[in-house]
């Protein structure tokens, strides 16, 4: 069965510091992987997705993620965090093809300190 693990429940970083949020998945087939951000009062916003091809994926707001099949990981990174990045981040895997039947991780809450 598919599963998504986000080991870090809460991460605190200083503004301007680099960020890495971890995501590990378990899925038998080639995964379709996503990172979403959830801010209070806002719907989930897609940061980036991986379907195939280049394993380093660029997203919006300066985020990137790298798909590592050998480690079953899809970690999200940002070189320099801004205060507005404080939010809840979710990794998700599709159980089908494309963006269907998303299975979400438990999320990582990011706090940014000045």
Partner 1 sequence: GAVVSQHPSWVICKSGTSVKIECRSLDFQATTMFWYRQFPKQSLMLMATSNEGSKATYEQGVEKDKFLINHASLTLSTLTVTSAHPEDSSFYICSAKFSSYEQYFGPGTRLTVT
Tokens 């980036």, residue located: 48
Each residue 64-93 as x (binds partner 1 by CB under 8 A) or -, in order, gives: --------------------------x---
Residue choice 24, 51, 72, 86 for contact with partner 1 (CB under 8 A):
51
Q: How far is the CB of 49 from partner 1 (least distance, A)?
A: 7
Q: Which three-class secondary structure state does DSSP give residue 25? A: strand
DSSP code, position 70: G
Pick the closest to residue 65 from 19, 100, 31 (CA basis). 19
- Give CA–CA dist 56/97, Å, rounded: 20
Q: Which is nearer to partner 1, 17 or 46 (CB)?
A: 46
Instruction: Give the binding site for partner 1 (CB under 8 A).
Output: 36, 41-46, 49, 51, 90, 97-107
């Amino acid at each position: 069965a598919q599963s998504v693990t986000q080991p870090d429940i809460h991460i605190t970083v200083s503004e301007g510091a680099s960020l890495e949020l971890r995501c590990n998945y378990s899925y038998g087939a080639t995964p379709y992987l996503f990172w979403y951000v959830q801010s209070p009062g806002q719907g989930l916003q897609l940061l980036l997705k991986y379907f195939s091809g280049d394993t380093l994926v660029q997203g919006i707001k300066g985020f990137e993620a790298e798909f590592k099949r050998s480690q079953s990981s899809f970690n999200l990174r940002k070189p320099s965090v801004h205060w507005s990045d404080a939010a809840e981040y979710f990794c998700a895997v599709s159980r089908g093809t494309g963006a269907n039947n998303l299975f979400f991780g438990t999320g990582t809450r990011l706090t940014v300190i000045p």
